[in-house]
Structure 1
Amino acid sequence: MTTDTPASTPASSSPLHAAVADDFAAVNRTIVQQLSSRVPLVEAISGYIIDSGGKRLRPLLVLLAARSLGYAGDKHVTLATLIEFMHTSTLLHDDVVDESHLRRGKQTANDAWGNAPSVLVGDFLYSRSFQMMVDVGSMRIMEILSAATCIIAEGEVRQLTNIGNPSVSEDDYFATIQGKTAQLFEAASQTGAIIADATPEQEEALKLYGRYLGLAFQLVDDLLDYQGDADAMGKNVGDDLAEGKPTLPLLRAMEKGTPEQAKLIRQAIRKGGLDQLDAVLEIVRATGALDYTRARAETMAEKALAQLAALPESEFRDTMETLARAAIERQT
Structure 2
Amino acid sequence: MDLVAEDLSACNTLIVERMHSHVALIPQLAAHIVAAGGKRLRPLLTLAASRLCGYEGVRHVSLAACVEFIHTATLLHDDVVDESELRRGQASANALFGNKPSVLVGDFLFARAFQLMIEDKSLETLRILAAASATLAEGEVLQLITQNDLSTTEAQYLEVIEGKTAALFAAATRLGAVVADRPQAEAEALDAYGHNLGIAFQLVDDALDYSAEQASLGKTVGDDFREGKMTLPVLLAFHDGDTAEQAFWRRTLEEGEQGEADLGEAQRLLERHNGIGRTIDRAETYGEAAIRALDIFPANEAKLALIDVVRFCIDRAR
Using structure 2 for the length normalisation, give the TM-score. 0.97
1:85 aligns with 2:39: no
Matched with 1:8 is none
Cα-to-partner distance string for 1:64-111 (whole Å, 9 max, x where unaligned):
111101000001000000110000000000000000000111100001
1:59 aligns with 2:12: no
Cα-to-partner distance string for 1:162-217 (whole Å, 9 max, x where unaligned):
11111100000000000001110011001122111121111111000000000000
Structure 1 position 44, deviation (Å): 0.4
Cα-to-partner distance string for 1:255-297 (whole Å, 9 max, x where unaligned):
1122221221122111336522111111110011111101100
1:163 to 135, 147, 153: 147
Cα-to-partner distance string for 1:8-52 (whole Å, 9 max, x where unaligned):
xxxxxxxxx111111011111111111111111111011111110
CA contact (8 A) 2:135 2:167 kept: yes
Matched with 2:268 is 282
Matched with 2:34 is 50
| SS in structure 2 of the partner of residue 217 of structure 1 | helix
Structure 1 position 234, deviation (Å): 2.2
2:288 to 302, 314, 332: 302
Matched with 1:176 is 160
User: Which stretches in structure 2 are left out of the alignment for 5+ residues?
Assistant: none
| SS in structure 2 of the partner of residue 227 of structure 1 | coil
| Letter matched to residue 263 of structure 2 | L
CA contact (8 A) 1:233 1:331 kept: no
Matched with 1:194 is 178
Give the alignment of 1:16-165 within 5 angstroms: 17-165=1-149
Matched with 2:194 is 210
Q: Name the CA distance, whole Å, in 1 between partners of 2:258 and 2:203.
A: 21
| Letter matched to residue 288 of structure 2 | E
Q: Name the CA distance, whole Å, in 1 between partners of 2:38 and 2:159.
A: 24
| SS in structure 2 of the partner of residue 167 of structure 1 | coil
Q: Name the CA distance, whole Å, in 2 between partners of 1:215 and 1:248.
A: 12
Q: Name the CA distance, whole Å, in 2 between partners of 1:250 and 1:266.
A: 11
Q: Name the CA distance, whole Å, in 1 between partners of 2:63 and 2:114.
A: 10
1:235 aligns with 2:219: yes
Q: Name the CA distance, whole Å, in 2 between partners of 1:261 and 1:81.
A: 46
CA contact (8 A) 1:141 1:191 kept: yes
| Letter matched to residue 142 of structure 2 | R
| Letter matched to residue 23 of structure 1 | D
User: Which stretches in structure 1 are left out of the alignment for 5+ residues?
Assistant: 1-16
Matched with 1:251 is 235
| SS in structure 1 of the partner of residue 209 of structure 2 | helix
Q: Name the CA distance, whole Å, in 2 between partners of 1:324 and 1:92.
A: 26
Percent same amino acid at aligned positions?
Answer: 45
CA contact (8 A) 1:92 1:118 kept: yes
